[in-house]
A and B are shown apart, each in its own frame.
Chain A
Amino acid sequence: AQSVTQLDSHVSVSEGTPVLLRCNYSSSYSPSLFWYVQHPNKGLQLLLKYTSAATLVKGINGFEAEFKKSETSFHLTKPSAHMSDAAEYFCVANAGGTSYGKLTFGQGTILTVHP
């Protein structure tokens, strides 16, 4: 079985400061990992994905994430927050074995950006 835990339900930052959204996963297999963003009243959009190539993954809008197998983590970061980054972010795992192909979502982290 696989599971995804997003450690913060809400994160609040000031514009121009760094963003850190934390994600831990549990899987018996080497998962593919994704971060999706959902803006209010909009559909889910892929930010970035890890598929066993480079452990540091760069995505759209300046976001990146680092896969750390020893810590079973896949935290999302951005050096400088922008007002347009305010949204809900989901960490997602897609593993093999009995969970083959099944996307497992974390509970989501709401990011608020203050001027």
Chain B
Amino acid sequence: GAGVSQSPSNKVTEKGKDVELRCDPISGHTALYWYRQRLGQGLEFLIYFQGNSAPDKSGLPSDRFSAERTGESVSTLTIQRTQQEDSAVYLCASSPRPTDTEAFFGQGTRLTVV
């Protein structure tokens, strides 16, 4: 596709359940980012993938959060045993290079934990 695609666009889940969020980056983009945006707050860095390098996981808030990326393609963000504080919009972005180029953002997945 032409842009970064995220699915699902909306997800409502019960507390304690696991969820998996998907991101399809723009083809050829080596860098991929996950961010979280809680209601009324700024963007919180979660994880960053760059090519085949070890990902920067420094933003993951707890061991309930994990993410994978297959090569330079699809990435999945998994949240285990969801809590109400996990409710947020999860944004994925990709970039052709990791420094001086713009990052292109998907529309996000709105996660609501009830």
Contacts and interface: CB of A to CB of B under 8 A. Distances in A.
Interface residues of B, number: 21
B56 interface: yes
B62 interface: no
A38 to B, nearest CB: 9
B93 A105 contact: no
A107 B42 contact: yes
Given A51-B100, A108-B42, A43 B56 contact: no
Interface of B: 31, 33, 35, 41-43, 45, 48, 50, 56, 91, 93, 98-100, 102-103, 105-108
A44 B105 contact: yes
Contacts of A78: none
B25 to A, nearest CB: 14
A68 interface: no
21 contacts: A32-B100, A34-B102, A34-B103, A43-B106, A51-B100, A90-B42, A90-B43, A94-B98, A94-B99, A96-B99, A101-B50, A101-B56, A101-B98, A102-B56, A104-B45, A105-B42, A105-B45, A106-B42, A107-B41, A107-B42, A108-B41
